[in-house]
Structure 1
Amino acid sequence: MTSRTLAASAAAFVLALGLAGTAAAHAHLKRSTPTASGTVGATTQVEGWFTEALEPKFSTITVTGPGPDGKPEGGKKVDKGDTHTDPTDAKHLIVSIDGAAPGTYTVDWAVTSVDTHKSQGSFTFEVRK
C-alpha cells in the first residue's frame, strides 16, 4: 500500500467514525423548569432544554395535574396544547399550563431531533402554596 493510499484510507476511517457519532445522536433532556422532582410555589409554563435541536412539529410536552387527593394519579391534562420551541433556541421546548393547584404534576415529553431521532421521558414536580 502506498503512503497516499494509506493516508486516504485513514482519512476515510476518521470521517466514518465522525459520521457514526452524529447519526447516533438523540435529544435528551438536560434540564427543566420546574426542575424534575422539584417544588415550586406556582407556575404558568413548563420548559425543557435538550441536547439537540428539535423539530417543533414533532415535539410535545404534556402536563397532567394532580388528582383529587393531590397525587399524580387521576389528574387531568392541564397543558394548553401550545408546545413550541423558543424562536432563539431550537433546543428549548415550552408549553403553557392552566392553574397551579397544590399537588404533584406529571410531565411527559416526546421529541424528535432535527436528525429525525426520537426520544421521550417523564418527570414530576410539586406545587405548594
Structure 2
Amino acid sequence: MLQRLKNVIVATSFLAALIVSQQAFAHAHLASATPADKATISESPKMLTLTFTEGVEPKFSGVMLMGADGSMVHTGKFTVDSADNKVVNVPLTAPLKTGSYRVDWHVLSVDGHKTKGSYNFTLK
C-alpha cells in the first residue's frame, strides 16, 4: 500500500512538472538580438533585429530604443519578417551616437501570451 502511494505521488509530481514546463515554453521569449545583449559595437547599426522563440503578433507588439540618458531614440516602423514571424526588425532612421542603449520590447505571441523584457548594448 505504501509503495503504491509513493508511485502515485511520483507520477503526479512528474505530470505536474511536465505541464508547468510546457506552459513556460508557450511564451515568446527573446532568443537572440542584433546588436546582441551586452555587446559593444564600433559601428552604428542600421536596424535592430530581435528573434523570438515563437511567432509574434505585430499589432500588439513593440520595441523602444532608449539612450543612456533615458530619452527615447526615434526608430522606423516595427515589422515582423515576412518569411519568419519569429523575427522582428526595427530600422534606425539616423545613425546612433556613441553611448549606451537599452532596447525595451513587448510582444504578444501568436498563441496569445504576452511577454516583455529589455537588453543593453554600447556603441563605442
Task: Count residues with an aligned counterpart.
Answer: 105
- Aligned CA RMSD, in angstroms, stands at 2.2
Question: Is 1:123 aligned to 2:119, yes or no?
Answer: yes
Q: Is the 8 A contact 1:54 1:111 kept in 2?
A: yes
Alpha-carbon distance in structure 1 between the residues aligned to 2:74 and 2:45: 11
User: How many angstroms does 1:76 deviate by?
Assistant: 2.2
Q: 1:61 is aligned with what amino acid?
A: V
Matched, 1:95 2:96: no
| Structure-1 residue corresponding to 2:61 | 59
Corresponding position of 1:43: 45
What is the SS of the residue equivalent to 2:85?
strand
Q: Which runs of 5+ in 1 are unaligned?
A: 1-16, 66-71
User: Is there any run of 5+ residues in structure 2 with no aligned partner, and where?
Assistant: 1-17
Kept in 2, the 8 Å contact 1:78–1:99? The answer is: no
Shift of 1:127: 0.5
In the TM superposition, structure 1's runs of 4+ consecutive aligned residues that sit over 2 Å from their partners are 20-24
Name the amino acid aligned to 1:117: H
Q: What is the identity percentage for the equivalent residue pairs of Structure 1 and Structure 2?
A: 38
CA gap 1:24/1:34 in 2 versus in 1, 3 angstroms = closer
Q: TM-score, normalised by structure 2?
A: 0.76
1:23–1:100 CA distance, 2 compared to 1 (3 A): closer
Give the alignment's TM-score, normalised by structure 1. Answer: 0.73
